[in-house]
Amino acid sequence: MSKILILNGSPRKTGNTSFLVNELVKTIIENEGEAEVITLNNHKINPCQACNWCIKNNALSCVQKDDMNTFYPKLLESEVIVFAAPIYWFSYSAQLKLFIDRLYALHGNEGYALINKKVAFVLVYGDSDIEGSGVHNALGSLRHLSKYMKSEIVGIVHGTAYKIGDAEKNNQLLTEIKDLGQKIVNSL
Ligand SMILES: Cc1cc2nc3c(=O)[nH]c(=O)nc-3n(C[C@H](O)[C@H](O)[C@H](O)COP(=O)(O)O)c2cc1C
């Protein structure tokens, strides 16, 4: 199982998030690392029903029969989790939010099972004004999550890319995503 797990929260297969995720994987491979990408939009991920079955049963899995149960073992085995998504309505996309809510199931008798995983964030938005984009909301939420997980944040890459193909033309994003790939491999 791969130590680096990348969650892609964009529905656009050739969009900006997917482009940056592909560049990240390329750099990881060039640096002799290995990564697995989960394209969340391709999977059935229901919203958390707050039934607490997971906690009552110390299950580290969910009673709902959907794709999350194949992802829990991957998360537990991983060393670095990369959260990548577009900004939709001033935060990260619903695809990523559904996934993150379901991380609730990883509360076991011995505490939260994702403690001490390393994390990284990749976010793209259409607005050229960072303050208007909503990326701060997404970053605030992800920073809270990493604090809860006692995670080291290995790196954060975010920038403006609106139309398909825009990320490719954004040299700063390209440089930063390659740096992030190297940092992630070096962190292992
Ligand atoms: C439903 C929807 C909501 C959006 N909301 C925002 C927003 O709040 N702020 C922003 O800067 N861009 C917003 N955008 C623009 C996207 O963040 C931008 O197009 C981004 O490149 C999409 O990423 P992708 O190419 O990986 O799909 C929105 C786009 C969509 C489709």
CATH classification at residue 73: 3.40.50.360
Please state whether the predicted TM-score (pTM) of the whole model is above 0.95. yes
CB count within 10 Å of CB 115 equals: 12
- What is the distance between the alpha carbons of residues 56 and 9, in angstroms, rounded to a whole number? 29
**pLDDT (0 to 100) of residue 35:** 98
| Sequential DSSP letters for 103-164 | GGGGEETTEETTTT-EEEEEEEES-SSHHHHTHHHHHHHHHHHHHHTT--EEEEEEEE--ST
Q: What total number of domains does the chain contain? A: 1
* C-beta of residue 15 within 8 angstroms of C-beta of residue 90: no
pLDDT of the residue at 1:
53
- Cα of 134 vs centre of ligand 1, distance in Å, is 10
Is residue 184 within 8 Å of residue 155, measured between CB atoms?
A: yes
pLDDT of residue 80: 98
Q: What is the tens place of the pLDDT at every residue in 110-127?
A: 999 999 999 999 999 999
Contact 4, 158 (CB under 8 A): no
Residue-level pLDDT at 144: 98
Burial call 125-147: b when 16+ CB within 10 Å, e when fewer? beeeeeeebbbeebbebbeebbe
Quote the pLDDT of residue 63. 98
The backbone torsions φ and ψ at residue 3, rounded to the nearest 5 degrees and listed phi first, read -80, -20
19 lines ligand 1 (CB under 6 A): no
Amino acid residing at 101: D
What residues of the chain score a pLDDT lower than 70?
Answer: 1-2
Structural domain harbouring 130:
4-187
Q: Find the 1 Cα to ligand 1 centroid distance in Å.
A: 32
Enclosing H/E stretch for 87: strand 80-88
Q: Cβ(33) to ligand 1 under 6 A?
A: no
